A and B are shown apart, each in its own frame.
Chain A
């Protein structure tokens, strides 16, 4: 692990990565909707921090742009969009009822993290990029946790946060493996994220008006008989 030419930044990035994974677990397991949102914002800040560290280490101005775009879209725009689309009472909801209980959710989550390392290992064996050793497996792990969050949560806003956390995971891997992705692609992908939040937020509001609840996991009129 000490093969990196930037031992201090490497260690800082590893710490950021560990906290990043913890916030992904938090988004999965927190019952309070507002707390989930705060954990997602923390996760986005950690993503920006990792981009910043890598930008310094690799001398890549692209990554500073990524960090700035991440802070702007994910910590400012998304909370703003959600506050203006989803009614305030949704934020106060506590989600008692979920598909799996928290202990079994966390056990599954642990298995997913192991799986992420198993997937990332052959890639790292083929190409040696120092920071990818931290960011790729943790990014894939956060991605799996995001997918799992979408599956087990029944409320609309936590499902959306799972979706956004999963996107964070992909970008967390992305900053290490493709630090030179064209800025236009980066920008386009960044614009996409608040639009996802906007569309899903507006849908949530519409579902709330129509059915009086935002428990999207309970909507089950459409299925095979």
Chain B
């Protein structure tokens, strides 16, 4: 029952937000809906950790360990971003009136629904449609501010990611062709893993490359990343948290699903492609991080870097590295959404996104300084945060399997990225105070979000409950162990 409810609740919440009821109650309605979805997703995760997978509706919906992990991450950031939106969007939409606010929540709920659908739709062709919907439903959320810059960002976002998705569609059609040639009917991930050894490699290989490049565009892999810093910096902070924190992860999840499919064919080796694409993204994103001038853009480049790290981890292969990848996905989703809430709070209080225009935050806005610094430490992988542990796991797994060169390059750029982000954030938080103080107060809901989102941020690095550990292991197992 849960899986169908997870998709229905956001649709219902969207309809209510757009109805006259939503004029007053859209924000609390959305928050309640996202909390309900999170509770259901957590329930599904507990059951998949115990039973391997949960299916329903005649196998139209299915969820295994990796799917459950992505489902929970989307649901979790869905809750915090909904709470952040409550105060933030009321201020940002003040000139557009309540109607604009209602439209925001109508699309917000549908956008969440499309992301939740990706890990649980069993039919791979329908999953492709869900990925495409994530773009189409979030286009107007990216362009929400209605400035020339925001519209430019939304345009690039829609055109380039749709282009990538259509390229991936050809890959999926070839995959289906291959599974029919191999004599398999159901077009599901499990069916593809079974069919792959019997598929002609001449079909499987181009299918893999089309999907890697096509969906890699939406994940923000270099050199297809050019739209990402624009969209992830121009959208309202709550949407940035969703785009950077979980939308990228959701699409990366699809690419990771290909790993066991291609892994079943001894003649093909996808691992160098994962490691190569991953390292390229990490390297270029790190260089861009050094010269960045806009602090929301900085966190967007950090997303490109993290997607690269996860791809490298998947490509290293082995249970340890895959556990690192699953842990990194979790740590990144939680930390990056927190970073965007903190960055959005600073941008709102000071009316700018320029790194150079914000100096000495600790004097006028200690809470902002604290959250921004904590978020930055968490995302670059300082102890005691989760990203530190996951990166450590990945390095360890890579060294144990003798892939020294990849690990050396990865470690080199991760350290530089660490220094670059901390250099920028340090100047913002502790630099000599400039003349401009805060221009606007921070709404209560934003403060509450920062307090609430700090709990998983700190908790997941210090203590991982058994049930979360089981989930991470199940997710790593689904990547092909």
Contacts and interface: CB of A to CB of B under 8 A. Distances in A.
Contacts of B180: 178, 180
A103 interface: no
Interface string A155-180: 01001100100110010011001101
Contacts of A189: 125, 128-129, 169
A206 B291 contact: no
B202 A126 contact: yes
B187 A182 contact: yes
A216 interface: yes
Interface of A is mostly: helix
Nearest to B233: A222
B290 to A, nearest CB: 11
Contacts of B136: 192, 195-196, 199
Interface string B154-179: 11101100110011011001101100
Contact of B206 (A119, A210, A219): A119
Given A188-B126, A196-B136, A222-B149, A173 B159 contact: no
Interface string B199-233: 01111001000000000000000000000011001
A214 to B, nearest CB: 10
A163 B159 contact: yes
A14 B231 CA distance: 42
B154 A203 contact: yes
A202 to B, nearest CB: 8
Interface string A194-213: 01100110110011001100
Contacts of A224: 288, 291-292
A104 interface: no
Contact of A221 (B140, B143, B149, B174): B149
Q: Which of B140, B166, B292 has the most CB of A within 10 A?
A: B166
B203 A203 contact: no
Contacts of B238: none
Contacts of B293: 225
Interface residues of A, number: 48
A96 interface: no
A150 to B, nearest CB: 6
B59 interface: no
A143 B176 contact: no
Contacts of B158: 196, 199-200, 203
B167 to A, nearest CB: 7
B2 interface: no
Contacts of A99: none
A159 B159 contact: yes
A177 B177 contact: yes
Nearest to A211: B148
A110 interface: no
A140 interface: yes
B166 A170 contact: yes
B230 A127 contact: no
A169 B206 CA distance: 16
Contact of B163 (A166, A188, A206, A220): A166
Contact of B234 (A127, A146, A216, A222): A222
Contact of B126 (A122, A159, A185, A199): A185
A12 interface: no
A216 B133 CA distance: 23
Nearest to A119: B206
Nearest to A191: B129
B181 interface: yes
Contacts of A221: 148-149, 152
Contacts of A188: 125-126, 129
A177 B174 contact: yes
A185 B123 CA distance: 8
A150 B173 contact: no
Interface string A115-128: 00001001101110
Given A166-B166, A185-B123, A150 B146 contact: no
A181 interface: yes
B125 A185 contact: yes
Contacts of B234: 222
Interface in B181-204: 181, 187, 200-203
B247 interface: no
A90 interface: no
Interface string B252-294: 0000000000000000000000000000000000001001110
Contacts of A195: 136
A152 interface: no
Contact of B177 (A127, A150, A206): A127
A147 interface: yes
Contacts of A160: 159
Nearest to A122: B202
A24 to B, nearest CB: 14
Nearest to B129: A188
B170 A143 contact: yes
A207 B151 contact: yes
Q: Which of B153, B154, B162, B292 has the most CB of A within 10 A?
A: B162
A188 B158 CA distance: 19
26 contacts: A122-B202, A123-B174, A126-B200, A126-B201, A127-B202, A143-B166, A146-B166, A160-B159, A163-B159, A163-B162, A166-B163, A167-B166, A184-B126, A185-B126, A185-B129, A189-B129, A189-B169, A195-B136, A196-B158, A199-B136, A200-B158, A206-B146, A219-B148, A219-B155, A220-B152, A221-B149
Please name the 3 residue pairs, one residue from A and one from B, whose CB atoms are nearest each other, closest first.
Answer: A185-B125, A126-B202, A126-B200
Interface of B: 123, 125-126, 128-129, 132-133, 136, 139-140, 143, 146-149, 151-156, 158-159, 162-163, 166-167, 169-170, 173-174, 176-177, 180-181, 187, 200-203, 206, 229-230, 233-234, 288, 291-293
Interface of A: 119, 122-123, 125-127, 139-140, 143, 146-147, 150, 156, 159-160, 163, 166-167, 170, 173-174, 177-178, 180-182, 184-185, 188-189, 192, 195-196, 199-200, 202-203, 206-207, 210-211, 216, 219-222, 224-225
Given A143-B166, A203-B158, 19 more contacts: A123-B202, A147-B167, A163-B163, A177-B177, A181-B173, A182-B123, A185-B123, A192-B129, A192-B132, A196-B136, A199-B139, A200-B158, A203-B151, A206-B143, A206-B146, A207-B151, A210-B147, A222-B156, A224-B288
